[in-house]
Structure 1
Amino acid sequence: MRILIVEDEEKMARYLKKGLEESSYVVDIALNGTDGLHLATHEVYDLLILDIMLPEHDGKTILKEVRSAGIITPVIFLTAKDSIADRVEGLNIGADDYIVKPFSFHELLARVRVCLRRGSHKTSSELTVGDLTLDPLTRKVFRGKKKIEMSPIEFSLLEYLMQHAGQVVTRTMISEHVWDSNFESFSNVVDVHIAKLRSKIDKHFDINLIHTQRGAGYVIEEPD
């Protein structure tokens, strides 16, 4: 799962990023409204966490632009504004939740999970390629009747491949989705994790599903 945090207090943003990454989420941060709006409308995220009072573009403006673009990604507002009117306005313009500062990280994490579950019910269902199945909600993977154990990174990588089944995805596309926007795509980390994934998904089965497109990237599909 990939999360964008738009928060102008850098210390707070880094704290949230660290905590969410420790819970196996991939996290990007933006420290102002301009960068936040650009990332929110040009990258694909599973959740947006927006401070309301931001330089350049405030959180409400970002949310309105995101919704105007047809993006239904769940949004949590973080703010020091705690009046009922502020909360009602935030929810009315399209936020899924509203958390008042100061807050407990454990509370934020619980609300993140709730929003992601809601988003999964709206947009995700079991993914299937050949006899390989992946359930985004239970986070279980099966090849035929054999359950395959996955690390969080392996699960995210496989989920991304299966969401684009039959399409070639480049190393840059994979790295930006599974890791973060600052990932060094010229490193061999993607290839290493693809190799680990193949050892679990393909190695002990008659039909290989993960294929290399030389000079382009990878594709997961059932061969003709």
Structure 2
Amino acid sequence: MKNIKVLLVDDQQLVREGLRRMLELDDDIKVIGEAGSGEDALIKAKDLNPDVILMDIKMSGISGIEATRRIKEENSKANIIMLTVYEDKYLAQAAEAGAVGYLLKDITQEELLRAVKVAYAGQSPVTPSVAKTLMSQFASMVQVNRKNILSRRQLEILRMVASGVTNKNIAQQLYLSEATIKRETSTIFTKLGVTDRTQAVSEAYTKNLL
């Protein structure tokens, strides 16, 4: 097995150091970077191109959930594992954001190493105390809902469109590429059954989305 490139994201340095020490005991795993905030995670994920990201959920500023959503919206190939002290409190949000795994921070070194390798293989590592079927169930529910309603990100973009903000400026404000904004805008048009910005805003007001 080649080295699995891992990015650590946690706002507590001691936690990052502990994770690094455990991971670096395995020759198949290489920690290529650390981020102390959600904002930093967005930059590091793009610059370092990790295979697996260990992402803390609760951070000041951009949360781990939001950082995960934005990283996946940029078409990142990284498989993201959420780290938390909460049982299944954020499981649904983690699945919706695109995380493949959900682990409690009190896991053992053996469990952590196994989880990274499982995620790298494209599977879903979940702490045993959390029902293993929940992740796939929530993900399926979210996929169905996405076909019928606008996501939170799409609503945010729609509000900016209604305010006359250009795609370029929307991209800058949301830390996304302009191509991503264009793609999301096109999806919004399709879901609303319209073909341009003016119609989208009008339809959004009709449906009480704004």
Q: Which interval holds the TM-score relative to the shorter structure? A: 0.5 to 0.7
Write the distance in 2 (CA, Å) between the matches of 1:19 and 1:7.
15
Q: Does 1:46 align with 2:45?
A: no
Write the distance in 2 (CA, Å) between the matches of 1:64 and 1:13.
21
Contact 2:66–2:97, Cα closer than 8 Å, also in 1 = no
Q: Does 1:104 align with 2:98?
A: no
Correspondence 1:1-224 to 2 at 5 A: 1-24=4-27, 25-27=29-31, 28-83=33-88, 85-118=89-122
Computed over aligned residues only, the root mean square deviation of the Cα atoms, in angstroms, reads 1.5
Write the distance in 2 (CA, Å) between the matches of 1:54 and 1:106.
26
Counterpart of 2:102 in structure 1: which amino acid? Y
Deviation at 1:42, TM superposition (A): 2.4
Contact 1:17–1:29, Cα closer than 8 Å, also in 2 = no
Deviation at 1:114, TM superposition (A): 0.7
Deviation at 1:81, TM superposition (A): 2.1
Counterpart of 2:6 in structure 1: which amino acid? I
- Could you list the runs of 4 or more consecutive aligned residues of structure 1 that deviate by over 2 angstroms after TM superposition? none
Counterpart of 1:79 in structure 2: which amino acid? T
Write the distance in 2 (CA, Å) between the matches of 1:10 and 1:19.
14
Deviation at 1:78, TM superposition (A): 0.0
Counterpart of 2:83 in structure 1: which amino acid? L
Deviation at 1:67, TM superposition (A): 1.1
Contact 1:77–1:90, Cα closer than 8 Å, also in 2 = yes
Write the distance in 1 (CA, Å) between the matches of 2:114 and 2:108.
10
Residue 18 to residue 45, structure 1, CA distance change in 2 (3 Å): same
Write the distance in 1 (CA, Å) between the matches of 2:111 and 2:65.
22
Superposition TM-score, scaled by structure 1 size: 0.50
The structure with the largest strand share of the pair is: 1
Counterpart of 1:50 in structure 2: which amino acid? M
The structure with the largest helix share of the pair is: 2
Q: Which runs of 5+ in 2 are unaligned?
A: 124-210
Write the distance in 1 (CA, Å) between the matches of 2:121 and 2:73.
23
Deviations 1:173-216 (A, max 9, x none): xxxxxxxxxxxxxxxxxxxxxxxxxxxxxxxxxxxxxxxxxxxx
Identity among equivalent pairs (%): 24
Superposition TM-score, scaled by structure 2 size: 0.53
Counterpart of 1:64 in structure 2: which amino acid? R
Counterpart of 1:90 in structure 2: which amino acid? A
